[in-house]
Structure 1
Amino acid sequence: MNNLKEAIKKADNIVFLTGAGVSVPSGIPDYRSKNGLYAGMSSPEYMLSHTCLTREPEKFYQFVMENMYYPDAVPNLIHTKMAEMESKKNVTIITQNIDGLHEKAGSKKVVNFHGSLYDCYCQKCGMSVPAEDYLKSDIHSECSGIVRPDVVLYEEAIPERAIDQSLEAMRQADLIVIVGTSFRVSPFCNLTDYRNNKARVFAVNKERISLPYPFEMIENDAVKVFAEI
């Protein structure tokens, strides 16, 4: 932990790569752990697929409403510590999470690699729709089109803008910190292939992760680690 604290102190350009483990302390379950969102489900990938949205929009909407939205969740210490660093460092957060908690904590440079549940739009007319309206109905009051959250579903591609912003941040970073993710989901886990080769890389996760290049592993609860930074 002291090594990470010292590395943050020395770094000018920091990139945090965050996953579901960062939001678990805020009461949002991860996906694949024993108590995660997918536990006991037979076909969760289908429920969150472009096919399901297209063929069975009612089923998709019901699943999303029952399992994905946590509007009362608040940022935890990990989110707030990352946001606080922006006053002294150039910090970019590239997150797999779609819950908007990094923004709620005050972080300004956030790349939502898989989109955000709180950006919604009508598939028929293209108009942006407030998430508060989507939480009440997936039918657009203006044109009766189907509203959807602007998140990357199974079978959909990562937006080019998110990839471009991520690669630019990786090239500039002198410190990369992977937090709360097993770092196995592609293409998110491939971002470090494009890192500045002089950047130090740390990983903070409850379970050890494996990377094909030198890095420093902190196998611990991220809340405990960030409490000491």
Structure 2
Amino acid sequence: MKKIVVLTGAGMSVESGLKTFRDADGLWENYPVAKVATHEGWEADPTLVTNFYNMLRKKCIGTQPNEGHRLVAKLEEKYDVTVVTQNVDNLHEMAGSSKVIHLHGELMKVCSSRDVDDPRYQITLTPENCEVEPGTKAGDGSLLRPFIVFFGEGVPMISAAAAEAMKADIFIIIGTSLNVYPAAGLVQYVQPGVPIYLIDPKPVSAGANVQQIQKGASEGMKELSALLMK
């Protein structure tokens, strides 16, 4: 079974109505990114940050995967598929994708602020219970914080993502301008000769070996899926 690795960015979830970190003017849902998505912002005002992510989770409840998400999941009928996403939503999982690597964290999780990566203190929230009271402590006594990779922090899952990219027989990029590192560097791990497809409505500077489909996530995946699922 051939292996497909799919790298997705903000454009994947925009059609489902979700805004992201990377929207214009350094704002995220009208909040300065520096205040709600950096370690310094967390240290300065953990209550503001906790309430911001509570608000984001409530906005995400009820959001549904779009056709692009569903078509990515459908590739598993014929291929071994790993999704590597820069998005913090869980729409790929909701659509049925079984192997998803989240580079920038997961909105529906919280964790220890002392050791973000310690699984003992990671909690998965539910749609019915998606808010965290500011000041709530993790099991190690530190404040519970969003399980989000803040700007300036390391990306712990990048090594796993690079290992997947190296094994790809087909590499697909959807909804990312390839400007955000280290995620954008994953294409460098793809073996020579492996087909690379990029779906984005805007032209992206991605090299001569990349086949671009200038459409949104859903329409672009319809076109590519017709080719790959023959």
Q: When the two structures are superposed, what TM-score results if normalisation uses the length of structure 1?
A: 0.83
CA contact (8 A) 2:158 2:183 kept: no
Q: How does 1:41-190 map to 2 (within 5 A)?
A: 43-67=32-56, 69-123=59-113, 127-132=121-126, 133=129, 135-140=131-136, 145-159=142-156, 162-190=157-185
The unaligned stretches of length 5 or more in structure 2 are 226-230
Shift of 1:176: 0.8
Aligned partner of 2:228 in structure 1 is none
**2:106 counterpart SS class:** strand
| Residues in 2 aligned to 1:83 and 1:105: alpha-carbon distance in whole angstroms | 6
| Residues in 2 aligned to 1:118 and 1:156: alpha-carbon distance in whole angstroms | 19
The unaligned stretches of length 5 or more in structure 1 are 1-10
Question: Structure 1 residues 40 and 116 mapped into 2: Cα distance closer, same or farther (>3 Å)?
Answer: closer
Question: Structure 1 residues 141 and 149 mapped into 2: Cα distance closer, same or farther (>3 Å)?
Answer: closer
Aligned partner of 1:29 in structure 2 is 19
CA contact (8 A) 2:26 2:33 kept: no
* Structure 2 residue 213 is the aligned partner of structure 1 residue 218: yes
Name whichever of 89-98 and 29-38 sits farther off: 29-38
Across the aligned residues of Structure 1 and Structure 2, the Cα RMSD in angstroms comes to 2.6
CA contact (8 A) 2:35 2:49 kept: no
* Deviation sequence 1:62-107 (CA, Å, 0-9, x none): 3323346512211111111111111210111110000011111121
**1:98 counterpart SS class:** coil
Q: How does 1:1-12 map to 2 (within 5 A)?
A: 12=2
Question: Structure 1 residues 190 and 145 mapped into 2: Cα distance closer, same or farther (>3 Å)?
Answer: same
- Structure 2 letter corresponding to 1:197: P
| Residues in 2 aligned to 1:215 and 1:84: alpha-carbon distance in whole angstroms | 23
* Structure 2 residue 7 is the aligned partner of structure 1 residue 17: yes
**2:77 counterpart SS class:** coil
Question: Structure 1 residues 128 and 222 mapped into 2: Cα distance closer, same or farther (>3 Å)?
Answer: closer
| Residues in 2 aligned to 1:36 and 1:86: alpha-carbon distance in whole angstroms | 37
CA contact (8 A) 1:29 1:35 kept: no
Name whichever of 184-193 and 61-70 sits farther off: 61-70
CA contact (8 A) 2:112 2:138 kept: no
- Structure 1 letter corresponding to 2:123: V
Shift of 1:141: 6.5
| Residues in 2 aligned to 1:114 and 1:44: alpha-carbon distance in whole angstroms | 14
Q: What count of residue pairs does the alignment treat as equivalent?
A: 216
* Deviation sequence 1:144-163 (CA, Å, 0-9, x none): 7421121100121001xx12
Large movers: runs of 4+ above 6 Å: 141-144
| Residues in 2 aligned to 1:141 and 1:165: alpha-carbon distance in whole angstroms | 30
